[in-house]
A and B are shown apart, each in its own frame.
Chain A
Amino acid sequence: MSGHNESILREPLITGKNITYAKITDDILRPVENKPNKAWWIGFIISLCGATLWVVSVSYTFWFGIGEWGLNKTVGWAWDITGFVWWVGIGHAGTLISAVLLLFRQNWRNSINRSAEAMTIFAVICAATYVVSHMGRPWLAYWVLPLPNQFGSLWVNFNSPLVWDMFAISTYFSVSLLFWYTGLLPDIATIRDRAKGMRKKVYTVLSFGWAGNVKTWQRFEAVSLILAGISTPLVLSVHTIVSMDFATSVIPGWHTTIFPPYFVAGAIFSGFAMVLTLLLVARKVLGLENYITMFHIESMNKIIILTGSIVGVAYLTEFFIAWYSGSEYEQYAFINRSTGPYWWAYWMMMTCNVISPQLLWFKKIRTSIAATWILSIVVNIGMWFERFVIIVTSLHRDYLPSSWAMFYPTWVDVSVFVGSIGVFFTLFLLFLRVLPSIAIAEVKLLLKSSSEQSKLELIKDGHLEKEHVTEYVESLEKFDSVKQEEYAEI
Chain B
Amino acid sequence: MSNIKYILGSFGDPDEMMHGIDKLQENNIKIHDVYTPMPIHGIEAKLGVKRSRLDIAAFFFGITGTMTMLAGVYLAAAVDWPINIGGKTFFALPDFIPITFELTILFCAFGLVGSYYASTHLFPGRAPRVMDLRATNDRFIIAIDAKENTEHTKIDELLKGAGALEVKYNERKYVSYE
Which positions in A face B, CB cutoff 8 Å?
1-3, 20-22, 25, 146, 148-149, 154-155, 158-159, 161, 163-164, 167-168, 171, 174-175, 178-179, 182, 185-186, 189-190, 192-194, 204-223, 226-227, 230-231, 233-234, 237, 240-241, 244, 440-442, 444-445, 448
Query: A442 to B96, alpha carbons, bound, how many Å?
Result: 39
Other A-B pairs, 19, CB within 8 Å; known A22-B137, A193-B135: A1-B42, A3-B18, A21-B137, A25-B137, A149-B80, A155-B80, A158-B95, A167-B99, A175-B109, A182-B116, A208-B122, A209-B122, A209-B128, A210-B128, A214-B44, A226-B55, A230-B109, A441-B39, A448-B14
Contacts of A237 in B (CB 8 A): 98, 101-102, 105
Residues of B112-127 whose CB lies within 8 A of A: 112-113, 116-117, 119-127
Q: What residues on A are CB-neighbors of B36 within 8 Å?
A: 212, 214, 217
Q: A214-B47, A222-B52 are in contact. Are A192 and B103 (CB under 8 A)?
A: no
A227–B122 CB distance below 8 A: no
What is the minimal beta-carbon distance from A32 to any residue of chain B, in angstroms? 14
B92 CB within 8 Å of chain A? yes
Partner of B73, one of A3, A158, A182, A230: A158
Q: Are A175 and B105 CB-contacts (below 8 A) given A3-B15, A223-B113? A: yes
* C-alpha spacing A205/B126, complex, angstroms: 7
Q: Which 7 A-B pairs have the closest CB atoms?
A: A209-B126, A21-B138, A22-B138, A208-B122, A167-B102, A222-B52, A155-B76
Q: A22-B137, A219-B116, A237-B102 are known contacts. Are A186 and B35 too (CB-CB below 8 A)?
A: no
Report Cα–Cα, A444/B131, bound state, in Å.
Answer: 21
Name the A residues within 8 Å of B137 (CB-CB): 21-22, 25, 190, 193-194
In the docked arrangement, what's the CA distance between A234 and B98, Å?
A: 10
A88 to B15 CA separation, bound complex (whole angstroms): 43
CA distance A215 to B137 in the complex (A): 18
Interface on chain A toward B: helix, strand, loop, or mixed SS?
Answer: helix
Task: Specify the chain A residue showing the minimal Cβ separation from B141.
Answer: A212
Cα–Cα distance between A234 and B58 once the two chains are bound (Å): 15
Query: By the criterion CB–CB under 8 Å, are A445 and B38 in contact?
Result: yes
Cβ-defined contact, A189 with B102, below 8 A: no
Cβ contact within 8 Å between A146 and B76: yes
Instruction: Give, as a whole number of angstroms, the nearest-CB distance from A229 to chain B.
Output: 9
Q: Is the CB of B105 within 8 A of A171?
A: yes
Contact in complex: A193, B136 (CB < 8 Å): yes
Q: Which residue of A lies closest to B175 (CB)?
A: A193
Interface centre among B39, B42, B113, B127 (most CB of A within 10 A): B39
List the interface of chain B (C-beta within 8 A of A). 12-15, 18, 33-44, 47, 49, 52, 54-55, 58, 62, 72-73, 76-77, 80-81, 83, 85, 92, 95-96, 98-99, 101-103, 105-106, 108-110, 112-113, 116-117, 119-131, 133-138, 177
Say whether B35 contacts A213, CB under 8 Å: yes
Contacts of B83 in A (CB 8 A): 154
User: Whole-angstrom distance between the alpha carbons of A240 and B102 in the complex?
Assistant: 12
Contact A211 B39 (CB under 8 A): no
Q: A158-B96, A219-B54, A442-B38 are in contact. Are A205 and B125 (CB under 8 A)?
A: yes
Contact B35 A212 (CB under 8 A): yes
Interface pair A218/B37, CB less than 8 Å apart = no
Beyond A168-B102, A212-B135, A223-B54, is A218–B49 a contact (Cβ under 8 Å)?
Answer: yes
* 8 Å CB contact of A213 from B34, B52, B92, B127: B34
Whole-angstrom distance between the alpha carbons of A1 and B36 in the complex? 14
Q: How far in angstroms is the closest Cβ of chain A from B155?
A: 19
A218 and chain B: residue at smallest CB distance: B44
A222→B56 CA distance, assembly (Å): 11
A149 B81 Cβ-Cβ under 8 A? yes
* Cβ–Cβ < 8 Å partners of B33 in chain A: 213-214
| A209 engages B127 (CB within 8 Å) | yes
A211-B35, A217-B36 known; A159 and B121 CB under 8 Å? no
In the complex, which of the residues B72, B81, B116, B124 contacts A205, with contact meaning CB atoms closer than 8 Å? B124
The residue in chain A whose Cβ has the minimal distance to the Cβ of B59 is: A226
Q: Which residue of B lies closest to A187 (CB)?
A: B136
How long is the Cα–Cα vector from A31 to B138 in the complex, in angstroms?
A: 19
Supply 25 A–B pairs (Cβ within 8 Å), ascending by A.
Answer: A1-B15, A1-B18, A3-B14, A149-B81, A155-B77, A155-B81, A164-B102, A168-B98, A171-B102, A182-B116, A185-B122, A186-B136, A204-B125, A207-B128, A209-B123, A209-B127, A211-B130, A217-B38, A217-B39, A219-B116, A221-B39, A226-B58, A227-B109, A231-B105, A240-B98
Contact assessment for A209 and B129 in the assembled complex, using a CB-CB cutoff below 8 Å:
yes
CA of A448 to CA of B99, assembled, Å: 44
Residue of B nearest to A165 (CB): B98
Minimum distance in angstroms from B21 CB to a CB of chain A: 10
Minimal Cβ-Cβ distance residue in A for B57: A226
User: With A154-B81, A186-B136, A227-B113 in contact, is A171–B103 under 8 Å at CB?
Assistant: yes
Complex partner residue of B39 from A25, A167, A174, A445, CB under 8 angstroms: A445
